[in-house]
Every structure is written in structure tokens, then in C-alpha cells.
Amino acid sequence: MPVAADHTEVSAAIRTDLGAIFVSLELSRSTWLVTSLSPGGKEKMSKHSVRGGDMAGLLERFAQLREKAKAKIGRDFPIVAIQEAGLDGFWIHRALERNSIESHVVDPASIATSRRHRRAKTDKIDGETLVRTLLAHKRGEPRVCSMVRAPTPEEEDRRRVCRERKILVAERTEHSNRIKGLLFAQGIGDYDPLRRNRREHLEELRTGDGRPLTKFLKAQICRELDRLEVLLDQIKIVDAERDTLLAVEKEGLLPSDPSAAMLLGIRGVGPEFAAVLWSEGLFRHFDNRRQVAAYAGLAPSPWQSGSTDRERGVSKAGNPRLRTVMVQLSWLWLRHQPKSALTLWFEERVKRSGGRGRKSAIVALARKLLVALWKYVTVGVVIDGAILKAA
């Protein structure tokens, strides 16, 4: 039985009848691999390397591609570029658009790949795959890939507040746990580094066998407290920036949509939840509720083949920050909104399963709640049975 061979060099069997030069960018810190397919060119794609970060060199390469295509065909062609979303962010995409180049950013996980156990993977192969994906996308083939909508610099900058706070809180937990671990090894388990009297309480501590803290142990804990207090001050500063931004939007002093402030009117939604929900997802435009759930990674992922039909849980392919905060908010929703339709639906579902499956049910509630909040901030549909805060 013949074995299909891997075609590492893919010929341009697809005609580029869209009147453009299609270019893919494989980005790394050291080099940028430029793979191009031009009208009237050879049967295979051309490749050229540019030093990483050299935007002038990249634009010069694009100009050379245009000159070669014009010399062969006799007219100018626009350039359509594609790159994967990654560590480089969106600055390259914005720079290309400022130079009148059509640019696309694709979600790399949405591109179909070979399912062979040992498939070949190189920058050369990935560059050709990106060009073919771009061609199919421009031809209008459905579901060939998922293009990323690049946020504006203002939108990208706004969500830094919530992301920085999450990092600071994680570092605060690390220092707090380290201090507790040092003291627990000495038989002390009732010390809380986050209390205001942490310094005074430290002087009063005695080990499990009745000794005062040793010299170097106390010095280490004091240095940990110094770093912890710096973090606490920075968290207060970030919280103040977040609250100020929400207050300005609530008063309508910004030209942007004040939908983030609308979330604060719902009982159980505080400043942090409102800021994260808006900056991580609800500020975007969605055509339907399926897109909302898919963006948060809360869409179902069925496995159906012949007589086999089972559900594998949520896809987890979207924004992890938005998905995490929605699961947290769902648990709080049960406490603060006990009479809402969503809470009653959750209780009925858990009751039918005999009290089991609360975790899977809370994920389903998170999906429903996110869609309900999206409808609330976009068209003003109040969640059925939800209690709003007093003005």
C-alpha cells in the first residue's frame, strides 16, 4: 500500500486571481521570515529573511516584491499580509496599516494542521501554510481560520489596569504564603502578614517550644514584609486608577460607551468584576450569543462520529481571564441574586441530578450569565429577576 509523502515544498497550484501579493510573516526575536506569492511568479513561493524588528527592511522587501510583480505584469499590485497572534503584540500590524498595507492577524490555533503523529514543522512550512490560509480567507471560504480583531492602543492600554492588579495580587499571595511557611516550620500557625499590626505582632511571636524568633529568621521575615508592603501600596494605587476610570465613565465624561459603569448597577458586581468584564470582552462587538460564549472559551466542544456522541466540556479556547472571572462571578451570583431566573435554573438543574454536578452546572451558568450581561450592556435588556443596586 503506497504511503503518502510529505510535501515540504508546496507549489502554487492555487491561482492568485485576487489581484494582490500575498505575504506571510513568521516572527521571532532574531529573524522575520517573509513568504510571498506574487501574480505571474514562479510555481513556488519565494522566501526572504529580515532581521527581527527591522520594520524598514520589511517595507523595503515589500517594495521589491511590488517592483518585480510590476515588471512581469505591467501594473501595480497591493500587498496583503498575515501574521500569527503572539508575543509581538499588534505593533507590527499597526505599522503595516499606517503604510497602507492590508494586514491580518490570525489565531494560530484556528489553522488546520496535519494529524500525522510525526508531522514536519518548520518556519518554512508554517510560512507557506499561512499564505494558503490567507488565500482561502480572501476567497471567502467559510471557517478557514479565525482572524483576530486588533484592539486600539487605547483599548489595549485600558485593560492593563486589571491585568497589572492580577499580577500584583498573585505576588502578594506568594510573599504572604512564604512568611506563613517560615513561621509554620517553627510551630507558629496563627500569624497573618496582611494585618495592619503585622510588625507589632511579629515581635510578640514565640515558637512552638517557647523560644523567641531567631535573629536571621526575623530579619528574613522583615525583608519579606518590606516587599509585601510595597505590593500593598501598589495595589492601592492600581485600585484608585480603576475606580477613577469607572467613575469618569459613569458620569459620561468620556466619549467611549459607559457600559462598564452599567455593570456596577447590578448587585454582586463590584468594581474589579465590572472592569475585567468590560476590558477583557464586553467592549468588543459580537454578532450573536454564540460568538460571546466562544470568545470566553465557554462554548461546548462536542465529539460526534457515527454512533458516538458525547460532550467534552467547554472549549477553553478563548480569553482565559474573562472565563476565570465569569466562573467566580457565577458563584457570587447565586449568593447575591437568589431570586433571579438564572439562579433558579441552576438550582433546578442541580436538584434533578441529585445534588451532583455543581461544578459543571456553574460553568453552564457562567456561559448563560455572560450572554445575559452582554445583552444588558449592549441593548439594555435587564436580566430576568436580577436585583439592581439602589441609586
What pLDDT was estimated at residue 298? 93
- pTM of the predicted model as reported, rounded to 2 decimal places: 0.82
Q: Side chain identity at 68, as an amino acid letter? A: K
What mean pLDDT comes out for the span 212-222? 96
Q: Does residue 151 carry a pLDDT above 60?
A: yes
Whether the pLDDT of residue 1 is over 50: the answer is no
Q: Which helix (H) or strand (E) holds 115?
A: none
pLDDT at 12: 42
- Three-state DSSP string of 73-88: HCCCCCEEEEEECCCC
User: Residue 22 pairs with which residues in a beta bridge?
Assistant: 37, 80
Which ranges of 99-197 does DSSP label H, i.e. alpha helix?
123-139, 153-158, 160-184
Given a cut of 70, is residue 254 above it in pLDDT? no
Q: Count of CB atoms within 10 A of residue 331's CB?
A: 12
DSSP tag of 382: P
Q: pLDDT confidence of 17, banded at 50, 70, 90?
A: low
Cell numbers given for 216: 536571621
Instruction: Quote the DSSP letter at residue 280.
Output: I
Residue 44 is predicted with a pLDDT of: 79
Task: Please tell me the predicted confidence (pLDDT) of residue 391.
Answer: 57
Question: Across-strand partners of 47?
Answer: 35
Cell 503585622, located at residue: 198
Cα Rg, the chain, nearest whole Å = 27
| pLDDT above 60 (res 4) | no
Which grid coordinates belong to 17? 486571481
pLDDT number for residue 39: 87
Residue 136: phi, psi to the nearest 5?
-65, -40
Worst-scoring range by mean pLDDT, 36-45, 102-111, 280-289, 318-327? 36-45
Amino acid occupying residue 332: L
Residue 262: pLDDT band with limits 50, 70, 90: confident
Pairing, β 308-314 against β 21-27 = unpaired
Residues 18 and 21: their CA atoms lie apart, in Å, by: 9
The closest of 113, 110, 139, 149 to 22, measured between CA atoms, is 139
- The string of pLDDT tens digits covering residues 50-108 is 999 999 999 999 999 999 999 888 889 999 999 999 999 999 999 999 999 999 999 99
With a cut of 50, say whether residue 177 has pLDDT above it: yes
pLDDT in tens, 291-329: 999 999 998 888 888 888 888 888 888 899 999 999 999
Per DSSP, what are the bridge partners of residue 46?
A: 36
Sign of the CA dihedral with 118 first, then 124, 126, and 131 last: negative
Q: How many CA atoms lie within 13 A of 90 on its CB side?
A: 19
